[in-house]
């Protein structure tokens, strides 16, 4: 099932739990889910009570508990379970990983611990205060262009869905203030607990992410305790990397990482050096040249 419903694709004995973004749905993960399933992985993209669109909002502790429950259900059936999250879903994946060190690996796509991208409104810092006012139950953040997409054709399609208030493949039209508040609480917890994350870790982030800057990815990579850590930086996408121009690259990198993680576990290998993409190195050289 897709859209606002869970997605489950039966495959081999390595299951991948896919966690979508805040107040959204498994539709965000559809392309990646199908790509992994074609390569023999079992895939589960659940609807989480209190977190997903169409469910009654709950505190972030309930989000984590629901994700852990989904992980445990997969662990009872499959030899290996990896966790992959998008945006706030990546923060949720890290929270889960801290509670379930048995996870084979954790994959972080556009990880968001701080809304600090170039398209975030200037008044974002006021929302923490607004949560404790009557605005708490009235105000909703409305998604605006570019909707996390560099791809203009897809952006136009999503814009039409947003105008209708529909749930699109890049998320909801609006997000409530309580949901944003709980996301901030989750991010604070994850920041504290990153040293507890020791399983294999893949980070994929767009250099031009308009919602969460690459600072988020660099913070995670410098604080997790993973001995097999890979960071890939994209240069032709915005925040929604599972749907944007480089979605095939994302799927390919996730697949390669999962295979390497499996092989390393089978061989008992560890202490692999971190890997950083050529795209990041190229962009950093451009920035350095401009600064001269």
Active site residues: 87, 209, 239
Angle of the 247-267 helix axis to the 30-38 helix axis, nearest 10 = 50
Distance CA 186, CA 91 (A): 7
Nearest to 90 by CA among 71, 111, 104: 111
How far lies 128's CA from each of 137, 179, 193, in Å? Answer: 14, 11, 22
Distance CA 138, CA 134 (A): 7
Please give the sequence-ordered ranges of beta strands (E in DSSP) within the chain, or none if there are none. Answer: 7-9, 14-19, 42-45, 80-86, 105-109, 140-142, 174-176, 200-206, 229-234, 275-276
DSSP 56-72: ----HHHHHHHHHHHHH
Distance CA 242, CA 246 (A): 8
Distance CA 99, CA 175 (A): 27
Distance CA 148, CA 128 (A): 23
How far lies 61's CA from each of 4, 134, 146, in Å? Answer: 22, 24, 31
Nearest to 114 by CA among 181, 184, 51: 184
DSSP 118-162: TTS-GGGGGHHHHTTSGGGGT-EEEP-TTTT---HHHHHHHHHHH
Count other C-beta atoms under 10 Å from residue 94's C-beta: 27
């Amino acid at each position: 099932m897709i859209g606002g419903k869970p997605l489950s694709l039966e495959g081999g004995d390595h299951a991948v739990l896919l966690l979508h973004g805040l107040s959204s749905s498994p539709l965000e993960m559809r392309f990646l889910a199908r790509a992994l399933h074609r390569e023999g992985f079992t895939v589960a993209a659940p609807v989480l009570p209190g977190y997903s669109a169409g469910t009654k909002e709950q505190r972030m502790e309930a989000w984590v508990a629901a994700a852990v429950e989904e992980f445990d259900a997969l662990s009872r059936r499959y030899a290996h379970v990896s966790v992959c999250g998008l945006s706030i879903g990546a923060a949720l994946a890290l929270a889960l990983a801290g509670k379930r060190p048995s996870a084979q690996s954790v994959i972080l796509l556009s990880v968001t611990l701080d809304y600090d991208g170039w398209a975030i409104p200037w008044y974002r810092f006021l929302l923490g205060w607004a949560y404790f006012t009557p605005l708490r139950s009235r105000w909703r953040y409305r998604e605006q262009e570019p909707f996390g997409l560099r791809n203009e054709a897809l952006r136009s399609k999503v814009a039409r869905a947003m105008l209708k208030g529909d749930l699109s493949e890049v998320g909801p039209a609006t997000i409530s203030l309580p949901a944003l508040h709980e996301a901030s609480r989750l991010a604070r917890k994850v920041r504290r607990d990153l040293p507890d994350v020791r399983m294999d870790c893949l980070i994929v982030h767009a250099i031009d992410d308009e919602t969460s800057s690459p600072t988020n990815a660099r913070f995670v990579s410098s604080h997790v305790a993973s001995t097999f850590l890979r960071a890939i930086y994209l240069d032709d996408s915005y925040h929604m990397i599972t749907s944007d121009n480089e979605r095939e690259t994302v799927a390919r990198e996730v697949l390669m990482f999962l295979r390497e993680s499996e092989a390393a576990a089978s061989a008992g290998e560890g202490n692999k050096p971190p890997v950083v993409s050529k795209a990041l190195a190229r962009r950093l050289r451009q920035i350095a040249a401009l600064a001269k």
